[in-house]
Amino acid sequence: MKTNKPVCITGASGFIAAHIVRELLERGYHVRGTVRKSPENYPFLLALPGASERLELVRADLLADGSYDQAVEGCDYVMHTASPYEINVKNPQTDLVDPAVNGTETILESCLKSGTVKRVIFTSSIAAITDEPDSTKVFSEKDWNTMSSLDRNPYHFSKTVAELAAWDFIMKKRPRFDLVTVNPFMVIGPSIGPSLNTSNQIIRDIMTGVYPGIMDLNWGFVDVRDVARAHVLAMETDTASGRYLCSGEAMHMRELVALLKSSGFNSFALPKIDLTGKVGTMLMKALSFTQPKDTGIYIRTTIGRTMRYDNSKIRRELGISFMPVKESLIETVNDMIKWGHLPLPKH
């Protein structure tokens, strides 16, 4: 083990964070997770193997100064995962940007005060790398999203400014701890808790008739268990540094729909009309203006473009290998059925 002291996880009940908690408990670590409500509200965390002996849940508030002082006290390592993830919000500044940036600064200030923290692992996103695929470019950790704003893909903007705030904190305050960021793409996979995360919801929407046709979209997918393992490896690997683009294979929507059809899910309302050509893309761009504002912007900035990226740094430096996306997608769908987010397939 890297440390005998508790490892602090902010937002411990979240989709990624809960898997990090499980991964750490499996490896024998003591875990201190921050949550918004009293611990009994999170039975799925308390039921994890090893939780009764080595998991402590403490309440903390992203927007309250000093709220994390108790949580990070005496810790060598802190993993900051807590951040809002919503696409359509009423006020992007107060609903997305303020919690993301202020929460980041609050947790880093608490780490600075602690005097014991050696490393902070920060859950960022591909959103901080780009919000617009470019068929002529291969994206990597060297790239930064310079196009998002409060009006254009505000979720992407919140992730970008939050990560920038973290690196700015390190540069200006020169703390004793270092910073490592994990930047995953579309995080899918089984959920430890009952809530439905946003990426899995996109899969559900594809299966329940929300999408009128098969669009010219492709995504990079990564299983949530690989993302959790990446966080732990970023903690355990002394030489880990900088940013890590965390994503396995990319898959086109056409391939995704074909996979679901061939895997016993063809009774769902999967899109049938192929709208991946130029005319279909023009039509979908026009129809995007009938969608909620931020959904429409997202479609217009991604449709008809191929996302390519280089994940060699995380594989080389952290030694991670990624679960095949097809396997992860099937587990994702079966898990959503288990939790009641999807009905049982008809036979």
Q: Would you state the pLDDT for residue 20? A: 98
Q: Which residues are marked as active site? A: 159
Q: Would you state the pLDDT for residue 62? A: 75
Q: Would you state the pLDDT for residue 119? A: 98
Q: Would you state the pLDDT for residue 88? A: 63
Burial class (CB in 10 A: 0-12, 13-18, 19+), 192: buried
Q: Where are the domains of the chain?
A: 7-192+223-247+307-322
Q: Would you state the pLDDT for residue 278? A: 92
User: Which of 343, 17, 342 has its CA nearest to residue 191?
Assistant: 17
Q: Would you state the pLDDT for residue 321? A: 96
Q: Would you state the pLDDT for residue 85? A: 60
Q: What is the DSSP letter of 320?
A: -
Q: Would you state the pLDDT for residue 9? A: 97
Q: Would you state the pLDDT for residue 272? A: 93
Are 336 and 189 in contact, with CB atoms under 8 Å apart?
A: no
Between CA 293 and CA 149 the distance in angstroms is 13
All residue ranges of the chain with pLDDT < 70 are 83-89, 347
User: Which of 45, 47, 51 has its CA nearest to residue 11?
Assistant: 45
3-state secondary structure of 9: strand
CA geometry: angle at 160 spanning 201 and 184, to 5°?
Answer: 45
pTM of the model: 0.94
Distances in whole angstroms, Cα of residue 245 to Cα of each of 28, 59, 64, 220, 241: 27, 30, 30, 11, 12
Are 62 and 99 in contact, with CB atoms under 8 Å apart?
A: yes
Q: Would you state the pLDDT for residue 195? A: 92
CATH H-level, domain 7-192+223-247+307-322: superfamily? NAD(P)-binding Rossmann-like Domain (3.40.50.720)
Q: Would you state the pLDDT for residue 86? A: 61
3-state helix, strand, coil in the chain (%, to 5): 45, 15, 40
